[in-house]
Amino acid sequence: MDKFRMIFQFLQSNQESFMNGVCGIMALASAQMYSAFDFNCPCLPHYNLAYGLGILLVPPFILFLLGFVLNNNISMLAEEWRRPRGRRGKDPAVLRYMFCSMAQRAMIAPVVWVSVTLLDGKCITCAFCTSVPVNTLGNASHPGLSQREMKRVLARIPCKEIYDGQELIANEVAIRYLRCISQALGWCFVLLMTTLAFLVRSLRPCFTQAAFLKSRYWSHYIDIERKLFDETCAEHARSFAKVCIQQFFEGMSTDLAASRCHPPRKAPADEGEAAEKLLGITDRGTMNTALKSWHRCKPPLHLHPPACPSGNSWAGEGHPPKHLPAHPNTQPPAQPPARREVAAYYSRV
């Protein structure tokens, strides 16, 4: 159990690396799924297009949604988007940054599926076999075939065992033509996605560096604040349960002592410490009110820091100092803002 707890704590502390690994595994799984998939074209004029495009587009959409489901931050994003404003406003730029970060990871597996499907060429061959230019590649002067019968014959091109139109157009010629188009589309798609990823990852921070840093900082803050709130709630619940159990056994001990004329046992010394961790919240109604208040009206992000000396007025002007010498009596850094916010909230409740 301790090993699993250590692994879980490691994954929590390295959540970004863990999600990148999950996205890589999903990408490999999508390629393996396609290679193991038994593609069977219906070879019917009215079903080839729907079947081919369905295999090309539906699984990537499922993988895209699955990428969001496996991301732990999706619930945090939904909670931040739907919560009331209260005393803390919501920055749309932070929400967009969080959504774009999750969407980038979720798109890896769908991109791999579409790329592999286009490079293989079976879906395009099945979907567009009825659109083969017979005038260019075949015998357009073949007598006795109406337009409907010609489409019925062309729809059987992917099925070599039932194709009976060799005199109209050679089966190998049509398949090579469609596969060539499919592979060209596949490589263009790979080039487009690679270029787009390069632009997003490399050039976007260069144009909006300040906004990018701000959005990234507050997205990290929301994540850390939620984790600290969960840890504080877990610690409070543990202390609450400990005090309730101790009071129950103390009552049982008192009743037994009264019936048997034995002095009751002395309460454990750590009961006071557990009671102090409750921060005054000692009943179910108050705890429910505190949780509702945290959701509806989170405390403002203003911790009232001490005033800076006049020589460090760069904070309000946007010009940082060139050098800040370390004082030998400098105090250690205080708690992170998220932890102070949670602790201050519980102390007020």
Helix (H) or strand (E) holding 118: helix 108-120
In the predicted structure, residue 28 carries a pLDDT above the cut 90: no
Q: Is the pLDDT of residue 118 over 90?
A: yes
Query: What are the φ and ψ backbone dihedral angles of 131, each rounded to 5 degrees?
Result: -105, 15
Examine the pLDDT at 190 and tell me if it is beyond 90: yes
Name the nearest CA neighbour of 345 among 285, 307, 289.
Answer: 289
Question: At what angle are helices 108-120 and 15-36 packed, to 10 degrees?
Answer: 20
Helices (H), 261-332: 271-276, 284-296, 314-317
Q: Which residue has the higher pLDDT, 221 or 276?
A: 221
Q: How far apart are CA 186 and CA 201, in angstroms?
A: 22
Neighbours of 316 (CB within 10 A): 8
Task: Give pTM, 2 decimals.
Answer: 0.65
Residue 37 is given by DSSP the state -
Q: How confident is the model at residue 8 (pLDDT cuts 50, 70, 90)?
A: very low
Question: 3-state secondary structure string, 310-324?
Answer: HHHCHHHHCCCCCCC
Q: Pick the residue with more confidence: 336 or 301? A: 301
Query: Exposure string (b/e) for 261-278, b if CB count within 10 Å is 16 or more?
Result: eeeeeeeeeeeeebbebb
pLDDT band at 7 (very low <50, low <70, confident <90, very high): low
Task: For the chain, give the mean pLDDT.
Answer: 76
Task: Report helix, strand and coil shares of the chain as percent, to nearest 5.
Answer: 70, 0, 30
pLDDT tens per residue, range 66-100: 888 888 778 778 888 887 777 777 788 888 888 88
